[in-house]
């Protein structure tokens, strides 16, 4: 079985903009592509898992999410990075959407479970990187390790959400490059223990 690094999108790979409802609002964070290239080189799968409720809220059509991801993949490939998968929850939160209760909206683990089936992943050997405690909670639900990044909503999450959260990240990183550095070191430690 393979291991993966699951990457949240907004606030982790690209700047948190509220809703990315125009291609101009997709702006990569510094070092993000190099970090993904490091994941690619390590043999770990790189998989994006993202909540995009803006479609369900009527802020943009569902097809627009694909346009944003085409741009993301183009920017990645220009610098030699790639993804092994992109998993999207386009449903709204329970309060705003009749499709309430989908099992793929973070913090629920549906996207991770789907990716694990598709890509033959060992989730207990995998990692989630995100800027929200919902990313940490999703990781826990699936038995994966979690890194909280301080980009995007990360600082506020750590200060205001973290103290009351029943789940804690395994590591808090300044940004995605530092998160990947920690993950690769953690993998070496786990490899040595086996």
Active site residue 10: yes
Q: Look at residue 102 and give the partner it binds from Mg ion, Zn ion, none, a contact being a CB closer than 5 to 8 Å depending on partner kind.
A: Zn ion
Give the residues lining the site for Zn ion (CB under 5 A).
89, 91, 102, 104-105
Instruction: Check: CB of residue 71 under 8 Å from CB of residue 20.
Output: no
Give 50's strand partners: 88
Is 11 a binder of Mg ion (CB under 5 A)? yes
# residues contacting Mg ion (CB under 5 A):
4
Q: Residue 19: phi, psi to the nearest 5?
A: -125, 135
Q: How far is the CB of 46 from Mg ion (least distance, A)?
A: 16
Active site residue 118: no
Q: How far is the CB of 44 from Mg ion (least distance, A)?
A: 20
Q: Look at residue 3 and give the partner it binds from Zn ion, Mg ion, none, a contact being a CB closer than 5 to 8 Å depending on partner kind.
A: none
17 token code pair: 């903009």
Instruction: Check: CB of residue 100 under 8 Å from CB of residue 94.
Output: yes
Closest CA to 52 of 92, 94, 110: 92
Instruction: Check: CB of residue 11 under 8 Å from CB of residue 151.
Output: yes
Is 8 a binder of Mg ion (CB under 5 A)? yes
H-run or E-run covering 193: helix 176-193
The residue range among 2-10, 31-39, 40-48, 105-113 that interacts with Mg ion, by the rule CB under 5 A, is: 2-10
- Cα angle vertex 84, ends 82, 190, to 5°? 100
Q: How far is the CB of 111 from Zn ion (least distance, A)?
A: 8
Q: How far is the CB of 102 from Mg ion (least distance, A)?
A: 18
Which residues are identified as catalytic? 8, 10
Q: Residues interacting with Mg ion, by CB under 5 A?
A: 8, 10-11, 131
């Amino acid at each position: 079985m393979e291991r993966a690094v699951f990457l949240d999108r907004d606030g982790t790979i690209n700047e948190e903009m509220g809703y990315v409802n125009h291609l101009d609002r997709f702006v990569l964070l510094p070092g993000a592509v190099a970090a993904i290239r490091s994941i690619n080189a390590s043999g770990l799968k790189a998989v994006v898992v993202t909540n995009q409720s803006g479609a369900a809220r009527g802020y943009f059509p569902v097809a627009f999410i694909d346009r944003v991801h085409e741009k993301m993949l183009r920017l990645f490939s220009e610098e030699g990075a790639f993804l092994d998968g992109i998993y999207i929850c386009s449903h709204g939160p329970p309060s705003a959407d009749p499709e309430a209760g989908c099992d793929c909206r973070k913090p629920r683990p549906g996207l991770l479970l789907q990716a694990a089936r598709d890509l033959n992943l060992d989730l207990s050997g995998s990692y989630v990187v995100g800027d929200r405690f919902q990313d940490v909670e999703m990781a826990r639900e699936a038995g994966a390790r979690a890194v909280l990044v301080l980009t995007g909503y990360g600082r506020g999450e750590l200060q205001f959400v973290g103290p009351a959260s029943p789940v804690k990240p395994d590591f808090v990183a300044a940004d995605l490059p530092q998160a990947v550095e920690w993950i690769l070191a953690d993998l070496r430690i786990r490899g040595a223990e086996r």
